Structure 1
Amino acid sequence: MELPDCNSKYSRKDYWEERFAVEKEFNWLGGLRHYVDVLDDMLSSFYKSDSILQLGCGNSSFSTELSAHGWTNITNMDISLNGLNRLREREPRSEYLLMDMTRMPIKDHSFDIVIEKATLDSLLVTAKSPWNFQSEENLLVSKVLSEVKRILRPGGTFISITFTQPHFRVPILTTKGLDWSVRVDTVESSGLPSYVMQMTAGDPKPALDKYCWVHSIEVKVKDSADLIISSEDEDFLGNIDPNSDSENDNDVSR
């Protein structure tokens, strides 16, 4: 698949439709094997039959790996029909939803667990500065978070796997009205530091105290054209290991 000529295309539906039409599989930030220990700990109070919604599944093997790890009630959602069809070929047991995660026609309190991996990151590729929490891009992320809160059942949890550093992401996750406590774990094995963030109903103050000092910093950024991401960069974000997108990455026993 030819790389986009600017990073902004990562936020566009037509780019993903075209890419997934020819690309069989790509695992952004690596497969489940990198995160299985952290996720097992975060989800230790849940049953393997509890309902999971994966936002922005694309053509990743992540839900297939979750299923192989024992989770039996998985729904995959994406804005790309081609991405959903690719995944359905490999994982016919799961449910599939074609929709925009910023406005999901899903009933309140429908899922026990909502999870995403690098999907929110795709909404932020055009942001001029990660320090501007009122940017159009961050406000779009906030819409997704409000939707996630709405569809989570009482006692449910939202898990976000991201390469965005916590002091850029936690201020959005602790926005007034979400009323989430935030746990952040760092995972190094995926090739570059990735962060697994777990949101549950609770007090946001500890996370605010730890990460939100950035509100006192003023950063001025000059307007610039979209940066072009190289093929090496995309593989790096995918997992560094060139075998990360092969069947070897589906082995969660390692």
Structure 2
Amino acid sequence: MVKEEELIKLAHPEFWDARYTSEQKVRQDGTQTVLDSYEWFRNFETLRPFFSKHLPASSSSCHILHLGCGSSTLTADLHTLGYTNQTSVDFSRVVIDAMKSKYSHLDTRWCVMDVRCLEMPNGSVDVAIDKGTLDAMIHGSLWDPPEDVRCNVGKYVDEITRVLKPGGQWLYITYRQPHFMKPLLEREDLWTLSVEELSDGAGAFNYFSFIMKRHQNLDLGHQSLLIDGKQEA
């Protein structure tokens, strides 16, 4: 079992900078370092039916935001399907620099950014995707989450509701059970929440997808914000 102090480190960029630095490899000709991809909670081909169901028709006008992109191939995979208007953010400068270099041929944006403080305009995103980022903020008992977990998750959720367009969606994929996660994600005044089970069949480890769809005509200037674990109007 992973120790609590190790789980707490996952919410800090220094941990990920060190990890990605250690995972970089030098090409045989010695000219460039490369970072192999790593997929949290299933690869693209396994999740393709889910994305086909929930993503709008591929179009350059559909702005997709990858929250904590890491070294996943998802940005590139969706680009091949025609989703060319993508922004991929991560608070690890090491991985963003590596992904910029690896996918320099793609017309996508790679930005060093903390998902708890997104440097993006209100209502600018059609679809936000999280495949493991929120999970890195969670430690301790989910029956009664520690104050720092409530605070980090609250700031993160507030930022997603802020940047999503009316009718926009947040697609979150996790291994965590819905009865634990729903209390952290429910915002009835801001969006609808539904859950789908992602199964590969009998005996396979099941994952869950949470689909949060932001209400139409929501005034961002009057939405409730969760600050330091407390609700403010």
TM-score of the superposition, structure 2-length normalised? 0.77
SS at 2:127 equivalent = strand
In 2 relative to 1, CA 196–170 (structure 1 residues): closer, same or farther, beyond 3 Å? Answer: same
Unaligned runs of 5+ in 2: 24-34, 217-233
* Residue 198 (structure 1) aligns with: 211
* Residue 19 (structure 2) aligns with: 19
* Residue 198 (structure 2) aligns with: 187
Shift of 1:135: 3.3
Within-5 A mapping of 1:135-154: 135-154=147-166
Could you tell which deviates more after superposition, 184-193 or 147-156?
184-193
Amino acid at match of 1:21: T
Q: Distance in 2 between matches of 1:5 and 1:143?
A: 22
Corresponding residue to 1:106 among 98, 107, 120:
120
Shift of 1:113: 0.9
**Structure ranking higher on relative contact order (CA contacts 8 Å, 6+ apart):** 1
In 2 relative to 1, CA 96–113 (structure 1 residues): closer, same or farther, beyond 3 Å? Answer: same
TM-score of the superposition, structure 1-length normalised? 0.71
Q: Distance in 2 between matches of 1:112 and 1:53?
A: 8
SS at 2:126 equivalent = strand
Shift of 1:80: 0.5
More strand per residue: 1 or 2? 2
Provide the aligned C-alpha RMSD in A.
2.2
2:161–2:214: 8 Å Cα contact kept in structure 1? no
Q: Distance in 1 between matches of 2:103 and 2:211?
A: 26
1:173–1:180: 8 Å Cα contact kept in structure 2? no
SS at 2:130 equivalent = strand
Within-5 A mapping of 1:7-156: 7-23=7-23, 24=35, 25-43=37-55, 45-49=56-60, 50-92=62-104, 93=106, 94-124=108-138, 126=139, 128-132=140-144, 135-156=147-168
In 2 relative to 1, CA 134–176 (structure 1 residues): closer, same or farther, beyond 3 Å? Answer: farther
Q: Distance in 2 between matches of 1:194 and 1:48?
A: 28
Residue-pair matches, total: 196
1:103–1:147: 8 Å Cα contact kept in structure 2? yes
Cα deviation code 1:29-49 (max 9, x no counterpart): 121111111111112x44432
In 2 relative to 1, CA 47–198 (structure 1 residues): closer, same or farther, beyond 3 Å? Answer: same
Unaligned runs of 5+ in 1: 204-254
Q: Distance in 2 between matches of 1:196 and 1:34?
A: 13
2:66–2:129: 8 Å Cα contact kept in structure 1? yes
